[in-house]
A and B are shown apart, each in its own frame.
Chain A
């Protein structure tokens, strides 16, 4: 009910968004906007907020700063977000991790007013240079003959990576075993040959791909990446795995609709600047990072919940 209401409201707002931001900028925002997130300082999400924050400040005159509250499956960050006053100055950076927490019954997605989905990354399976597997076909042939023998390093247990690899197992009908690590140990264990492969996005793995230390076998996206023209997508192999990590802003569910409208205008302006686009390109995020406004983002969240529920059910992680 609530989400339906917000969706209609958002749809109405989206129509008027582009015309107004400059006029409303006078009375809102008048001070710093804080964006709570549940990852480490210097990590992908922290950098994402800073990257949007720089042009945001130039446009609105107000700064946008990340507040990192780590650990606990994102619960402490969520609790902090909910305890704060609803005055338009607290946002939360959300990602598939919140969808997972929702599916696991830990948080409610309808406590968010979706604001803007900005980045949409694409993951891939990478093997170390020394790996005997040259192509994804080699890799999967081995996985079919020896179910569970191949190990894939991932970050965070029962998180986004686990879901992607779980969906991969469901779609391919083969079985690879996931091993959760911290992000840097995942890379070192893959390079050192302790695990057979790892799941990672292009940006963080770029240096290792360019030096030849890692070989991407498959990319989880609808189209091949222009920078990796020889790496097939899961879709062309016949497996419908396109789940990617996305980064987005959300406000509290009962946020003032006028604030949502103004802020979306400012964010979309900030994202359109060359300064931001350049940073996005460095991390190879430009390929499918289409900016989604409040209503489209709401619809996207609903479709994500459906997919994640299906995968997490199949993995036996939900009650």
Chain B
């Protein structure tokens, strides 16, 4: 292994231009991540033709740097405009934007950046040290385990409700319900499309999230007519102080671990990792009711998880040749063009390539800190403009961004409808976070439940009695009961306090 690192370092210093490539790729990635509609996947796909002129190692360095940069980049626009620049950052908006609205945009960006770097480095270290055993362990996760994992994430919605378990559950169930529109994942038949073929795509998660977050926010601000009242004033980007940083250390550790592991599971990636670690942050918090109002853990959790998932999703790609996420699937295509056969032998036959990429990702995460601060500063300047100009610009970005993702005009319609729906949810004080978690995790839960039942021949006991599945499902049940108990207890305490006062 040391020999492998030796040859990797020799490669990097033998090709000093590779450092330039890493710098370029991180900046490119941050730019693609931060602009809605240009995601990391697009950033990687656009660079693939350019990798033809490089050797495969330089090519993969370039692509992995973009992946690292774009995963952080999305959080900039999520925090400043409530418009996630990439799907991975959707969860960051839940607490990032409220914190920015409180006049602490700088602090929010700083936490996002520091958490991203910590998570990214954690994920890279896991990738360096544990890739083959992690990849083997992830193979134990079949459909029942995926289902249990998704259920565990979904049950946290009861804790998010802003005090009301009922409203949290209703919003979550709406999310689950809307996610069923489109093609049935197992039989391929049409569901809730009312014969309209353009609904076959279903309510895709990105347009739904941009609608409920960004568009609904603009609608609400327009309705409030307080264009100057709550302007985001502090846009400097300070890294959090040591004290603030230490306060989130457990969240960072937990979320980075969740991120690396979920990243390593094929088929689910950084977005799922961000939402599940957010759910866990809420569950383990002493003050779950504060989530959604701009708490540090609410930013640290998704940001460390999604960046850690970058390293994680490289694990199955390099150890088994199976992409762990949509972006690594594009990278796999890039590798194949270079004549490299992805598979379990890759780490043995292309040692130098693999280990150079490890080091490259490490450097990329550190560079992200340097360039992230700059990028955030430039973006934040937009906030100095009056909202009467920024608001309409966000609406335009929402529309073009959603269309650019998949050139599908139906998605723009979905985004607009979801904007109105999100506005309604806010007015009625239903938590958007629960709705979105239902929408993101629902399809994973449904698909894996039904895959698992087909495999077990509809034997439910066979399904739940698998050890990992059983543990995760029991944890979900306990968490759900505890959520109701917590609310009942808070209610009792409030009653008692009232009695004592009266």
Residues of A with Cβ closer than 8 Å to B? 40-43, 46-47, 50-51, 67-73, 75-76, 79-80, 106, 148-149, 151, 156-159, 162, 177, 179-185, 187-189, 191-195, 206-208, 210-211, 213, 279, 282-283, 317
Question: Which residue of B is nearest A279, CB measured?
Answer: B337
Question: Which residue of A is nearest B331, CB measured?
Answer: A42
User: Known contacts being A181-B267, A208-B343, is A75 close to B201, with CB within 8 Å?
Assistant: yes
- B-side contacts of A68, CB under 8 Å: 406
Q: Please, could you name 27 A-B residue pairs with CB atoms under 8 Å apart, sorted by A?
A: A40-B330, A41-B45, A41-B330, A43-B329, A67-B407, A69-B408, A71-B201, A73-B188, A79-B197, A151-B455, A158-B187, A158-B189, A180-B451, A187-B320, A188-B141, A188-B267, A188-B316, A188-B320, A206-B341, A207-B321, A207-B342, A207-B344, A208-B343, A211-B343, A211-B345, A213-B344, A317-B188
How many A-B pairs have beta carbons closer than 8 Å: the answer is: 160
User: Quick check: A157 and B336 within 8 Å, CB to CB?
Assistant: no
User: Known contacts being A76-B410, A192-B141, A194-B455, is A184 close to B323, with CB within 8 Å?
Assistant: yes
Given contacts A76-B200, A282-B339, 19 further A-B contacts (CB under 8 A): A41-B333, A42-B44, A42-B333, A43-B329, A47-B337, A69-B407, A71-B200, A73-B188, A75-B201, A156-B188, A157-B185, A159-B188, A183-B329, A187-B266, A207-B341, A207-B343, A210-B341, A282-B341, A317-B188
Task: Give Cα A213 to B45, complex, Å.
Answer: 29
Residues of B with Cβ closer than 8 Å to A? 41-42, 44-45, 48-49, 138-143, 182-189, 197-198, 200-202, 204, 265-267, 316, 320-324, 326, 329-334, 336-337, 339, 341-346, 406-408, 410, 451, 454-455, 457
- A-side contacts of B334, CB under 8 Å: 42
- A-side contacts of B139, CB under 8 Å: 188, 191-193
User: Quick check: B143 and A157 within 8 Å, CB to CB?
Assistant: no
Rounded to whole Å, the gap between the CB of B314 and the closest CB of chain A is: 13
User: Quick check: A194 and B143 within 8 Å, CB to CB?
Assistant: yes
- What 7 A-B pairs come out closest when comparing CB atoms? A207-B343, A158-B188, A42-B333, A192-B139, A72-B201, A194-B142, A42-B330
User: Quick check: B204 and A195 within 8 Å, CB to CB?
Assistant: no
User: Quick check: B200 and A73 within 8 Å, CB to CB?
Assistant: yes
User: Quick check: A75 and B198 within 8 Å, CB to CB?
Assistant: yes
Task: Give Cα A177 to B187, complex, Å.
Answer: 12
Task: Give Cα A192 to B41, complex, Å.
Answer: 28
User: Quick check: B186 and A180 within 8 Å, CB to CB?
Assistant: yes
User: Quick check: A72 and B330 within 8 Å, CB to CB?
Assistant: no
Contact of A42 among B48, B184, B265, B267 (CB under 8 A): B48
The listed residue with most B CB atoms (<10 A of its CB), out of A50, A71, A317, is A71
Question: Which residue of A is nearest B454, CB measured?
Answer: A179
Question: Which residue of A is nearest B265, CB measured?
Answer: A188
User: Quick check: A189 and B343 within 8 Å, CB to CB?
Assistant: no
Question: Which residue of A is nearest B199, CB measured?
Answer: A72
User: Known contacts being A182-B267, A210-B345, A282-B336, is A72 close to B186, with CB within 8 Å?
Assistant: no
User: Quick check: B332 and A42 within 8 Å, CB to CB?
Assistant: yes
User: Quick check: B407 and A80 within 8 Å, CB to CB?
Assistant: yes
- B-side contacts of A158, CB under 8 Å: 187-189
- B-side contacts of A41, CB under 8 Å: 41-42, 45, 330, 333
- A-side contacts of B408, CB under 8 Å: 69, 71-72, 76, 80
Task: Give Cα A192 to B466, complex, Å.
Answer: 14
Rounded to whole Å, the gap between the CB of A154 and the closest CB of chain B is: 11
Contact of A189 among B143, B200, B341 (CB under 8 A): B143
Rounded to whole Å, the gap between the CB of B409 and the closest CB of chain A is: 8
User: Quick check: A180 and B142 within 8 Å, CB to CB?
Assistant: no
